[in-house]
Structure 1
Amino acid sequence: MTAISARSARRFAVVGAGLAGLACARTLAQAGHAVTVFEAEATVGGRMATRASPFGDFDVGAQYFTVRDARFAQALEATAADVTRRWSANAVRVLDPEGRVIEAALPAREPHWVAMPTMRALPERWAAPLLASGQLLLGTRVTALQPDALGTARWQLHTEGAAGATHVHAGFDAVMLALPAWQARTLLSLSEQTKPLSALLAGVEVAPCWTLAVAFPNAMQPGLQTLGPQWNAARSTHHRAAWLARESSKPGRSGIERWTIQASAAWSQEHAQDDAERVIAKLLKAFAEVTGIRATPAWVEAVLWRQAQTIKPLGRSHVWDAGRQLGLCGDWCLGHRVEDAFLSGLELALQLA
């Protein structure tokens, strides 16, 4: 990418440090622009999330990623080859409600990749230069987006940080919202100047997902064979459990037997208001029915992602409103794959860089 002159460099705000936001921010920064990234959480990565347990970590968000676009492949090879590995998922299988393999429904084979030691390692790698240079503000939630008080051609962001501390960050030439669709829509709806962009997201549909993490440390005892089936990952037509993965089979992970179960979109929607205890009981039953593992786990946790799987995407890689100098990106623009998030952020940045 050709470097730009100091005179043509611009100041950008990127709201959200998931993969889309990081892809957008790093591309703009590499082009010579001044970039500030605002992230409400204490960590980066969005749904490339990790939960720690006494028995090892769990990828409770994105389970793996595939690589279909040459630009994504190039970025991984150039910057993250040492923290990504191919995961031999033991031929991802499709199961019927009784746990029987439906051979005719096996999907087309393509490599499955994971980051090490957890999926969050990839966004952490891409965030590191931004964090080191002070361009990434963690634990900083953007509460309002308004024209700059000193010049309406620019933007100012109102933020809230630790212990409710508030701050106004001003002087941005343009703002990129790399947020889940519902969060972007909510933020845009707060201001008369940005409401029209909010309407663009009305047709985007994203389903929730209950995720269950379970650990069986006793399976490591001498003489006790690995619990359950011989496969390490499966798509299931069970009405509750849509995806199951043996976390301990992924490269760079602890060998303690651990599984992640993701509920179906329909079941998650129906039970989005349930408490975690009830969800745990129901998903443990589904887990036992699909895998045959009926042992009581030593550790279990349920996580609800209220926006997880895109049912109806925007239908284009990003949104750029040149008149308002506002952009939108996220996996929901194209789908729900990890690569979709990367491409959305990249293509928004390339339009401006």
Structure 2
Amino acid sequence: MPQAPRGPRHFAVIGAGMAGIACARTLVQAGHSVTVFEKTVSPGGRMATRSSPFGSFDHGAQYFTVRDARFARALETVPGLCKPWSANAIRVLDAHGRVTEAPLPARESHWVAVPGMSDLVTQWAQPLAAACQLELKTRVTRIERDALDPAGWQLRTEAGEARHVYGGFDGVMLALPAPQAADLLATSGLSPKGLRKLASVDIAPCWTLMLAFPNAMQPDLVTLGPQWNAARSTHHRVAWLARESSKPGRTPTERWTVQASAEWSREHLQDDPARIEAKMLKAFTEVTGIYAAPAHTAVHRWRHARTVKPLGQTHLWDAHTGIGACGDWCIGHRVEDAFLSGLELALAAG
């Protein structure tokens, strides 16, 4: 006989990046209850925006594209929040900053959230926060069987010096980078059969440099340095450069975000941030020809940034234990990949 449909359940979602919020939203829309746990101060993950006295920097995901109709429909729920970016013709540079390929007409639009990339996930997470279903600055340290219901799950967490146990979960969704998801399962003494493929995923780190040049704001100077706004580079240290001030809805102060190559970031993962800043600034000068001293510099290390070897499927779900995993690393490294992974995991579980 066919099984009767299950009623509403309570899911824990660990991670409030694009994948985690997409998963949580979909579960709520299906009638389930969720609690989202995020170790940082705000949702977004690598859809991140950092403020400075000179304007903001999208120091994680730089833009996104829209290829799947489901992602397009989701974006319709936040009309006006996302704008096309004029950097459609992204240059390709050699190690000396020379353009090696003429820009081709854009095959698809490149979009950014306004006023910062983090605002898209923040907006989608707002109903969860309003319903007290979003626990920020709360790190999950262990997943274990519920003390009151051995068929369910509870989570041990840290929030500053405080320790807390959240229980009553029918399922747990790991919206984390694959290595972090694997580590949490190992720490918890868990090895769900459906999640053993986590070890096959390879994700590279990324050092990111942020620079501001307020002195470039002069009446007779349109832009500082090159006359392009975004480029991929073959310099051994630098993989990507973007003029943040060229994005819609940003302040006009000349600002650049520079992302290091995966190979260089791996090699220098544990280096002192001041040393990283000096080396990346030198590479930035070599690529752009900008020798002016920036008034503001900052670096950020993403331990898990760009997918090198994806999982090869949209999500992982172990129906026997009720534990799943999602993230852009399942099928790629794009923002839309993260959204679709979270969506598909929620549909599989719900």
Give TM-score, length-normalised by structure 1.
Answer: 0.95
Partner of 1:141: 139
Percent identical residues: 66
Residue 305 of structure 2 corresponds to residue 308 of structure 1: yes
1:340 partner letter: D
Q: Write the distance in 2 (CA, Å) between the matches of 1:120 and 1:242.
A: 22
Relative distance call for 1:280 and 1:106 in structure 2 (3 A) is farther
Q: Is the 8 A contact 1:206 1:312 kept in 2?
A: yes
Q: Segments of 4+ in structure 1 off by > 4 A?
A: 104-108, 195-198
1:64-89 CA distance string (max 9 Å, x none): 00111111011001x22221000010
Partner of 1:349: 346
Match of 1:118 among 116, 119, 139: 116
SS in 2 for 1:111: coil
Residue 268 of structure 2 corresponds to residue 271 of structure 1: yes
What's the offset of the Cα at 1:194? 3.4
SS in 1 for 2:121: helix
1:349 partner letter: A
Partner of 1:294: 291
What's the offset of the Cα at 1:196? 4.9
Q: Write the distance in 1 (CA, Å) between the matches of 2:326 and 2:281.
A: 36
Partner of 2:237: 240
Q: Write the distance in 1 (CA, Å) between the matches of 2:124 and 2:246.
A: 25
Partner of 1:160: 158
Partner of 1:73: 72
- The 5 A counterparts of 1:72-111 are 72-77=71-76, 79-89=77-87, 91-103=89-101, 109-111=107-109
2:140 partner letter: V
Residue 241 of structure 2 corresponds to residue 209 of structure 1: no
1:28 partner letter: L
SS in 1 for 2:24: helix
Partner of 1:253: 250
Q: Write the distance in 2 (CA, Å) between the matches of 1:191 and 1:240.
A: 38
- The 5 A counterparts of 1:26-65 are 26-65=25-64
Indicate the RMSD between aligned Cα atoms, in angstroms.
1.8
Partner of 2:280: 283
Q: Write the distance in 2 (CA, Å) between the matches of 1:326 and 1:226.
A: 50
Q: Is the 8 A contact 1:90 1:231 kept in 2?
A: no
Structure 2 portions without partners, runs of 5+: none
Q: Write the distance in 2 (CA, Å) between the matches of 1:94 and 1:17.
A: 33
Q: Is the 8 A contact 2:237 2:280 kept in 1?
A: yes
1:4-55 CA distance string (max 9 Å, x none): x997111111111000000000000011111111111111000111111110
Higher mean alpha-carbon deviation, 65-74 vs 224-233, is at: 224-233
SS in 1 for 2:252: coil
What's the offset of the Cα at 1:221? 2.5
1:226 partner letter: T
1:168-215 CA distance string (max 9 Å, x none): 111111111101111111110023343656642111100010100000
Relative distance call for 1:36 and 1:223 in structure 2 (3 A) is same
Relative distance call for 1:284 and 1:193 in structure 2 (3 A) is closer
Higher mean alpha-carbon deviation, 27-36 vs 196-205, is at: 196-205
SS in 2 for 1:332: helix
Residue 6 of structure 2 corresponds to residue 25 of structure 1: no
Partner of 1:187: 184
How many residue pairs are counted as aligned between the two chains? Answer: 347
Give TM-score, length-normalised by structure 2.
Answer: 0.95
Q: Is the 8 A contact 2:88 2:110 kept in 1?
A: no
Structure 1 portions without partners, runs of 5+: none
Q: Is the 8 A contact 1:246 1:259 kept in 2?
A: yes
Higher mean alpha-carbon deviation, 272-281 vs 191-200, is at: 191-200
Q: Write the distance in 2 (CA, Å) between the matches of 1:61 and 1:106.
A: 25
Relative distance call for 1:193 and 1:224 in structure 2 (3 A) is closer
1:229-283 CA distance string (max 9 Å, x none): 1100000111111100000000000000000000100011111111111111111
Q: Write the distance in 2 (CA, Å) between the matches of 1:150 and 1:47.
A: 36
SS in 2 for 1:27: helix
Q: Write the distance in 1 (CA, Å) between the matches of 2:105 and 2:300.
A: 27
